[in-house]
Structure 1
Amino acid sequence: MKPVRTLARVMLSGIFVVSGARNLQNPGRLVPAAKPVTDRAAPLIQNLHPRLPTDTETLIRANAATQLVGGLMLATGKFTRPAALVLAGTLVPTTVAGHPFWTADDPATRNNNQIHFLKNLGLFGGLLLAAADTEGRPGLRWRAGHRINHSRRSMQRAVRTARREAKIAVRTAATARRLPG
């Protein structure tokens, strides 16, 4: 199953590597579409830290760099689960800014944006699956529960053994008292 996972991750990451590199080199072409989204996000960013940049082109570059690095991490199998989550996070503003089919008046533009919106929704779903994939190994939740159950069973065995040994000790003591000494 590992080759399938590897191939799927490479295929899923391709769009992020290519578009991340392209948008990092030429963010200016995306500024008109991204400006309404970045203008709404700017106050939130300023609340996080006043020194963080809020200009549209810098935010596009940051998103592109994140997609490029996250895509490479996903493709190479390094920190795949966090990389998939980060990529899913970058996909939200990209989709809202790039494919607002609900605002288009032209039917052809609306249809095109709706198709791309749904494609990105599918990518988002694939990224969520990649983020949840433990590669056949037990997840932290299972391991913690298993460890707790193992500890509980060990304690129950210890209690049963102590009771058994106590009963044996009581019988031995009672037998020793009855013996003529």
Structure 2
Amino acid sequence: MSRAADSGIILIARLALSVLFLWSGIMKLLGYGAFVGYLQAKGVPLVQIAAPVATAVEVIGGIFLVIGFMIRPLGLVMAIYTIATAVLGHDFWNVTNAALQHDMVIHFWKNVGIAGGFLLLMVTGAGGASVDAARAPRRPSL
């Protein structure tokens, strides 16, 4: 990191991303049956596997974002997950209702933008305010 403020900014970015996934994951847990039904209605294959995996990715991924644990690999996993959910859950190209299609387009591109944020975290790492930084080997001072 080139500036002292970078760690704080990366922490804010991690927290901002975590809110969406923690909230969504917890809502999936609380309404698990409805979530499974939604996936079935969308034609998602292997719903019995996809539903618990999606829920776990969101809850565990959200927690890891907050604490800053394994952020580089998590960034890649979350970027892939977010693009997959955009394609499967916001398939605007299959929607004929103009208002609903407009909404789906916005959500699709929102997911693409979020995936971009995750790719940035993959490159930058967790920053100084993180478990990753606490676990990193210390360089001797000269």
TM-score tier after normalising by the smaller chain length: 0.7 to 0.9
Tell me the amino acid that sits aligned with residue 53 of structure 2: A
TM-score (norm 1): 0.60
State the SS of the aligned residue for 1:75.
Answer: helix
State the SS of the aligned residue for 1:38.
Answer: coil
Aligned to 1:28: 33
Aligned to 1:16: 21
TM-score (norm 2): 0.75
State the SS of the aligned residue for 2:96.
Answer: coil
Structure 2 gaps of 5+ residues are 1-5, 129-142
Flag as ranges the 4+ runs of structure 1 deviating above 4 A: none
CA contact (8 A) 1:70 1:84 kept: no
Tell me the amino acid that sits aligned with residue 127 of structure 1: F
State the SS of the aligned residue for 2:44.
Answer: helix
The 3 A distance-change label for structure 1 pair 28 and 57 is: farther
The 3 A distance-change label for structure 1 pair 124 and 101 is: same
Whose helix proportion is higher, 1 or 2? Answer: 1
Q: How does 1:92-171 map to 2 (within 5 A)?
A: 92-134=83-125, 135=127
Number of residue pairs matched by the alignment: 121
Identity %: 31
Which has the higher Rg, Structure 1 or Structure 2? 1
CA contact (8 A) 1:95 1:117 kept: yes
Structure 1 gaps of 5+ residues are 40-53, 137-181
Say whether 1:38 aligns with 2:38. no
CA contact (8 A) 1:24 1:60 kept: no
The 3 A distance-change label for structure 1 pair 91 and 37 is: farther
Higher relative contact order (CA 8 A, sep 6+): 2
RMSD of equivalent CA atoms: 2.0
